[in-house]
Each structure stands twice: as structure tokens, then as C-alpha cells.
Amino acid sequence: MKKVTILKAVAASLLVSCSSPKKPAESTQNNNFYNVEQFADLQILRYKVPGFEDLSTDQKKLVYYLSQAALTGRDILFDQNGKYNLRIRRALEAIYTNPKEDQNSEEFKKLSTYLKRVWFSNGIHHHYGMDKFLPEFSPEYFKEALLRVDASELPLASGESVDVLYATLQPVMFDTQVLPKRVNQAHGEDLILTSACNYYQGVTQAEAEAFYDKLKDPNDAAPISYGLNSRLVKENGVVQEKVWKIDGLYGDAIALTVYWLEKAATVAENATQKAVIEKLIKFYTTGDLKDFNDYSIEWVQDLDSRVDFVNGFTETYGDPLGLKASWESLVNFKDIDATRRTELISQNAQWFENNSPVDPQFKKKEVKGVSAKVINAAILGGDLYPATAIGINLPNANWIRNNYGSKSVTIGNITDAYNKASHGSGFDEEFVYSPVELDLINSYADLTDELHTDIHECLGHGSGIILPGKEDALKAYGATIEETRADLFGLYYLADEKLVELGLTPNMDAYKAAYYNYMMNGLMTQLVRIELGNNVEESHMRNRQLIAQWAYQKGKADNVVELVNKDGKTYVVVNDYPKLRALFGELLSEIQRIRSTGDLDAARAIVEAYAINVDPALHKEVLTRYATLNLAPYKGFVNPVYTAVEDADGNIVDVQVTYDESYADQMLRYSTDYSFLPSVNN
Ligand code: ZN
């Protein structure tokens, strides 16, 4: 179980956790708080940190120190992603900030866009697609612009001329054949030699695999994540690790990480959290992966602290062998209000189970809700910046998860920023039928979509029983049926007066926003994520189409839901919301029966009838309409700025948060204030 990085990757769609009927890629050109700027295929957003002002002074100081630590590893990630990245970034920044440069020239504008993309991807390869993206300015312009920069501003090695720097960087940046992919996963090739990432130097895939196979002990009850925190190199014919630690590779940056962690330890909320920080410092100091295990075990058991963090070598997606972890950081604190909401739902789990439309023989006699913790991000760093996940599920070591548990959280303020930014993107205006539905969506959809996710997660998956021996009976249809079940549980209860009674929804209109969105998404708009000619493959998308198509078809006799043509465009119209709810209840009962009894034939029949096939004409129409909106499929964030307020003696007495920094200003500031590594790291 990895962190929910699928989300980070598919920023296009906000594939939230395993549920949530999110609308696809939306962005906007309007200049509200959440939208910062758009270029290439990227949109930059801003997020708020609600509740920060309510933290105690010590908690604010803790967030401040940890957020400083979160920015110290940015250069590490650039170098991990490719060995020329730091030189390229610094050369481009020197040109970008050179007062002699004509900022109005077309070539300069192209260089600005390229630099913004390099910042976004923490290197020269696309953060999601992994392919190298090319500058649109000419190599000649690049060379002339380099020569216009004061040489002291350039990332020149000792004695190196600008000509040599240019000759080094030119093919790396401009030649499609050189380092074309950051992570190559194609079978049959040497994955190390064909990947541009900087985790291995001078070794082949076979040599690397042999090196680590020798270290592994299959009988170890506390397995070590060999290779996680080092570069593997061959020097003088010997394959060896260069460990990332305070007196090793990347030590200049790690020393600053440790400096800020030591400060953080002085304001830890409790002894457990203090021990977590101290164990992380120890790991950064020794580089010993046993110390990493100790740290991870301590971290997963710190459940009482309001402030929490991730800091270090964490995810291995950037290594084709999946061994070496990129540096990342996230500082966060518990969102008390949102967590209260999920707790309230969980506390009433038995009521929801008892009152569901499911056949009593398939209900749980005793049901326990799961209480999901909702957090707000305070800062994003390393491989979580600017593109980020919206959920975290750590640690990655399975034996630690099994023995000590794991932490699974959703990042509320990031989800909220995505939602808010999408308003006014033109997406709803294009696809929603009339001002009546638009009004419902603008008033209630953020709330009801979140609630739907909460019920899906806290109750849906845990509801119902499965008859003995039937756990895996649905085979390849199992995932789609299970998601369908959890989604329906959420949809059915969104329209229940119980939610108004509990204060979770304001009235009996709110649910209609979620119902409309769900039907529009399932019948039409989720198709923007599928290429013309393809059918629905992904299991969450299948589950959404299954529910929407089934309800549409079954409700036809009563005209519950219609597809209406207006001015040559197709729209979803919901004519009878209470009847739609009854249909969701009917389907929930049948899906629960299929799941409880392991009825494979029925599962296959219902999935094949409703979940997979796409109407090509409607698909084409949706894609055409979507293309006119000109939306950027990938999104990332600028961070807030934290400023420590000191008294006359230099003690921090408060920390203030501001949100007015631009994308380029922030990147340049990080490159000045948080750049601790040399341009070449060997
Ligand atoms: Zn789910």
C-alpha cells in the first residue's frame, strides 16, 4: 500500500481516494484567490491553511521549524531527478534574472515558460509523463543569453568556461535522443541505462540487482529497505553505495534539514513526537536503514499530536527498480472540524447499517465505522511540491504496517483548493443543463461531494456481510462491484433526513447537487479522460458509469433522468430526485446481494451491460466541447509564506502566514534561500 500518489499523478481528474464523483480536469483563467497562473499543460493554484491562527504558539513554532526543514531538500530532489538538473535550473535562473536581458523578446518568454516547467517538474522531464520536454527557444539564443550573464552568476565548475557549460547542457536540453525519459519501465531494456534519473552511475541493471539480492535476507522479521537512501555507483571497478546522510552525499542540504529538526524537537507536542523527530535526526546522521525502521515505527504510533509531518526519502516511483526514494516533505495539522464530521458519521454507523435498503440477511449485526482523519497541509516540499497528493498512506514497509499500523489521511485544504479553483472554470457552464442545476452545484456540491466521500470511506466499505468462502468470488469484477457498493451506500444516505438531523447537510435540497453531478459525470463528463475509440477500463470509472447508466435505463419508464438535446448539445436532466434515490436504494440492495453471495454471473452481467461501453457519438461530442475550454490537465501549488515574529531577545513569539507570493517569486526565493548543494554532486 503506497501513498495515494495515483492522485498526484492524475491531477487531471482528482481521482480522490477510491470514491468521490469528482469532475474531470478543470481550471480557469479568472483571478480569484485560488488561481495563480497557467502555462504549458500546467495550472498553478494556491491553498489556504484554515485553523493555523488557532494553533498554540508552540504549535505554530513547530509548524514553522518543520516547514523550514521541508524546504531544505529541494535541491536533493532536483539532483535525484537528473544529474544536470541543478546546473540547468541555475543557468536558466541566471538568465531569467539578468537585468540586461530583454524581457519582452519572444525568446525570453519561451525561456520563462521552460524555466517554469523545470521548476514544476523539479527537472527537465515531465513530472507525470516522465518524458523530456524541450525548450521552444533556440540553442543559439540560449548561448547568447548565457554569455550576457555575469560569469560569477553561472553554475561554472572551477576553471570552466561558458562555452564548455553550454556544450555540456545543450544536448541535454535540446537533443531528443539524449536522456529522453526519467524513468523507463519498458521491459526488455536495461532500465537503469535507459532512465535519466540519477540513482545509479556506471552500473547496469544486472549489477544493481545482484548487489541488492545479495543483501536481502528473506527470513528477516524486520526487513531493511535496502537501497532506499543511496546512489549506487561503480568506482574503480567496485559497485558501492554513496549514502545520503549528513556526512555523505547531499550532506550540505541534510545538515540544514537536521538543523531545523533540532529546533522542532524543542517544541514537540509530547514525548512521543519528540522521539519521532530525534529518531529521524539519528537516521539522517547515521544513514543506517535500521534507524529508518525505528523512526518509521515511532512515527506511525504518534497519533495524539495535532501537528504531524513527513520528511525524508519516502517514495520510490522515481527509480525504475523501485528501491531508491525521492526526498519529500509535508507538514500538516489535524482539521478538528472535518475530523469531527467523520467521527459523527462513524458514531452512527449502526443506525446507517440498520436502516439501509439491503436485505436484512446481508447486514452486519454489529458494525464499526472507520474514522478518517482529515488534515490541512501547512507546507509542501520536495517531491510533493508543487504537484501534490491529496491523501497520504504511510509507511510503505508492509511489515511495519502489519505490526504497528499505518496512517491514512486526506488533505482537506488541498481538496478544497481544487474545488474552489474549478468554480468559474467554464466547465459547469458548458455541461450543466440550466441555471437551476448550476445554482444547486454552486451552493452545495463541495459539501455533498465531501460527505459522499466520507460515507463511502467511513461506512460504505465496512457495511454488509460476505458469506463464508465468498470473499474473492467476484474475481475480476470484484473491485468494480465493491466500489459500486460503497458509492451507492453514500448516494443513498446523502438524501436521508438523518443527515439534516445530524447537522451534516443544511436541508433536503443539498443532496440534489451531488446527485446531479454524479449522473452528469457517470453518463457524460468522465468520458473526457478516455481517448476516442476506447471503452471504460478503470474500475472507479466503471463503477460510476454502472450506477449512472443503470439508474438512467431503469428510470426511463418514469422519466426519472433524461438526456436532452439543446442547441445541438447533450445535457443530463434529473426530473425526479426522490425516485432517483429509490433507484439507488434498489441497486444497492442488488449489488450487496451480489457481493454477499459472490454471484459471479450477476456481477459479470451487470458490469458488462452498464459499466464498459461508450456511445461513440456522445463521447466525441463531450471531447469536442471539453477541448474548447482550454483547461490545463496538471495542477500544482504555491506554498503560503510563514514569517516568524520575534521579540527584542530574538525569541519567536508568533508566526504569521501570508498568501501573496507569486509562483516565480517563490521559486526564485527557494533557489536563493534554500539551495545548499553544489551544481555537481558526486
Ligand atoms: Zn472505495
What single string gives the DSSP state of each residue in 86-115? HHHHHHHHHHHT-TTS-TTSHHHHHHHHHH
Q: DSSP character for 132?
A: B
Q: Which residue has the cell 471531447?
A: 623
CA 461 / ligand 1 centre spacing (Å): 7
CA 346 / ligand 1 centre spacing (Å): 16
Q: Residue-wise over 214-242: b if at least 16 C-beta within 10 A, else e? A: eeeeeeeeebbbbbbbbbbbbeeeebebb
Residue 21, CA atoms < 13 Å, CB-side half-sphere: 34
CA 332 / ligand 1 centre spacing (Å): 24
CA 336 / ligand 1 centre spacing (Å): 23
pLDDT in tens, 22-80: 333 343 334 479 999 999 999 999 999 999 999 999 999 999 999 999 999 999 999 99
Residue 497: Cβ-neighbour burial (10 angstroms; 0-12, 13-18, 19+): exposed
The CATH number of the structural domain formed by 1-16+49-80+184-334 is 3.30.540.30
Beta strands in 543-615 (DSSP E): 561-566, 569-574
CA 352 / ligand 1 centre spacing (Å): 17
CA 419 / ligand 1 centre spacing (Å): 20
CA 481 / ligand 1 centre spacing (Å): 10
CA 479 / ligand 1 centre spacing (Å): 9
pLDDT value, residue 458: 84
Residue 371: pLDDT band by 50, 70, 90 thresholds?
A: low
- Name beta bridge partners: 43: 38, 635
CA 231 / ligand 1 centre spacing (Å): 37
CA 453 / ligand 1 centre spacing (Å): 8
pLDDT in tens, 523-550: 999 999 888 999 998 888 999 999 999 9
Enumerate residues 6+ apart whose C-beta is below 8 A from 682: 201
- Domain boundaries defined on the chain: 1-16+49-80+184-334, 83-181, 335-627
Q: Is the pLDDT of residue 510 over 90?
A: yes
CA 380 / ligand 1 centre spacing (Å): 26
**Range with the largest mean pLDDT of 393-402, 464-473, 651-660:** 651-660
CA 388 / ligand 1 centre spacing (Å): 21
Q: Give the separation between CA 584 and CA 550, rounded to whole angstroms.
A: 9
Q: Is the pLDDT of residue 485 over 90?
A: yes
CA 21 / ligand 1 centre spacing (Å): 11
Coil, helix or strand at residue 285:
helix
Question: Which whole number is the average pLDDT over 18-22?
Answer: 35
CA 243 / ligand 1 centre spacing (Å): 39
CA 478 / ligand 1 centre spacing (Å): 12
Question: Which whole number is the average pLDDT over 108-119?
Answer: 98
H helices present in 336-477, as ranges: 336-347, 349-354, 398-404, 412-422, 427-431, 435-455
pLDDT in tens, 213-266: 999 888 898 999 999 999 999 999 999 999 999 999 999 999 999 999 999 999
Q: Give the separation between CA 592 and CA 463, rounded to whole angstroms.
A: 9
Q: Is the pLDDT of residue 418 over 50?
A: yes
Residue 313: pLDDT band by 50, 70, 90 thresholds?
A: very high
pLDDT value, residue 678: 97
CA 540 / ligand 1 centre spacing (Å): 8
CA 147 / ligand 1 centre spacing (Å): 56
CA 334 / ligand 1 centre spacing (Å): 22
pLDDT in tens, 633-680: 889 999 999 999 999 999 999 999 999 999 999 999 999 999 999 999
Note the pTM of the prediction, 2 decimals. Answer: 0.83
CA 368 / ligand 1 centre spacing (Å): 16
pLDDT value, residue 408: 75
Q: Give the separation between CA 667 and CA 275, rounded to whole angstroms.
A: 33
CA 17 / ligand 1 centre spacing (Å): 7
CA 277 / ligand 1 centre spacing (Å): 33
Question: Picking from 11-20, 217-226, 581-590, which range would have the lowest pLDDT averaged per residue?
Answer: 11-20
pLDDT value, residue 340: 87
